[in-house]
Amino acid sequence: MLQGDCFVAKNAPRNDGWSLMRLGNVEFFVVSDGVMKSDAGGVYGLVPKSLWENVTPADDQNRIPTHLNCLVIRSQGKTILIDTGLGSKLDARTEAFFGRAGGAQLLNELARSGIAPSEIDIVINTHLHLDHCGGNTLRANGNLAATFPRAEYWIQRLEWADAAFPNERTRATYLAENFIPLGEQTRLIEGDTRVTDEVRCLITRGHTRAHQSVLIESNGKKALFIGDIAGRAVYLERLAWIPAYDIEPLETLETKRRLRAWAVEENILLIFQHEYLLTMGYMRREGERWWVEKVE
């Protein structure tokens, strides 16, 4: 079935309701590390509750669901995983803090898709906040080890430096256990970087100084895994809606402005990291109104 510029292979269902998708010669599908609960003040920043609660109602602790979507891409013989969620290393108290029912899900979802950890060739971290790279490593026999033993982990050099030397604001989310143990499996990249002829890392600055999104290009068609520069569709629909977590909010504003115009111009399929009801869609515009049209 054709969805915009993507073909959905209905004979290959995913456990989360998404099917294997094809864009030109590239295959990809969403997997999840579960659903955590985030404080709405962090998610919506300066936006008044009277506005955001109509978009995402909060629970009695002012928390809203945050899906930990990751992406598997198969391109030119490589199996690529983008981000790894919170992972399995959290203790019971921290799991309770995040409210993630059922704990880590990523490895289970990969297994249900027929993918063993040893089959992942490349892990790309959009950035090193703990909900995006916690699954990079796991505890085995009391030691920390790479979850994906054969993979190269592609991380922006500036992001790695910011994570390795955090400040008072960032030290709660940049945890050394999620990236330092990777050792020689780490590949530090600088700026926009081609992964295969069909996959590229693109700097999308704002959420962090070196945040990157991942672009798929094949046969003249494009899809973009956005990461946290716009983890929810509403962040692109309303430019002023910027999370309190963003290190450079004014950079976020301008990055989103450019990104959504580009997405409309080139009809790019957008893949959102923290959404579920609108995980994929196309940016549309009519006059001053911008919206994301959901891919069913």
- List C-alpha distances in Å: 296 to 71, 92, 293: 17, 36, 9
β-bridge partners, 218: 221
Cβ–Cβ < 8 Å for 270, 281: yes
Residuewise pLDDT in 10s, the chain (296 residues) = 444 456 554 334 444 445 799 999 999 999 999 999 999 999 999 999 999 998 999 999 999 999 999 999 999 999 999 999 999 999 999 999 999 988 999 999 999 999 999 999 999 999 999 999 999 999 988 899 999 999 999 999 999 999 999 999 999 999 999 999 999 999 999 999 999 999 999 999 999 999 999 999 999 999 999 999 999 999 999 999 999 999 999 999 999 999 999 999 999 999 999 997 899 999 999 999 999 999 87
The pLDDT value recorded for residue 7 is 52
The pLDDT value recorded for residue 19 is 77
Contacts for 125 with CB less than 8 Å, ≥ 6 apart: 83, 84, 132, 133, 136, 153, 154, 155, 159, 179
Report the alpha-carbon distance of residue 177 to residue 8 in Å, rounded.
Answer: 37
- The position carrying tokens 């998610």 is 43
Nearest to 232 by CA among 252, 261, 203: 252
- The CATH class for the domain spanning 2-294 reads alpha beta
Largest CA distance in the chain: 59
Amino acid of residue 132: H
First to last CA, the chain: 10
The pLDDT value recorded for residue 5 is 58
The pLDDT value recorded for residue 16 is 45
Encoded tokens for 177: 């256990």
45 by Cβ neighbours in 10 Å (0-12 / 13-18 / 19+) ranks as middle
Encoded tokens for 253: 């504003």
Report the alpha-carbon distance of residue 236 to residue 242 in Å, rounded.
Answer: 10
The pLDDT value recorded for residue 296 is 73
Domain residue limits, the chain: 2-294
Nearest to 181 by CA among 231, 134, 116: 134
β-bridge partners, 187: 154
Report the alpha-carbon distance of residue 89 to residue 70 in Å, rounded.
Answer: 18
Encoded tokens for 169: 């604001």
Nearest to 65 by CA among 227, 276, 230, 238: 276
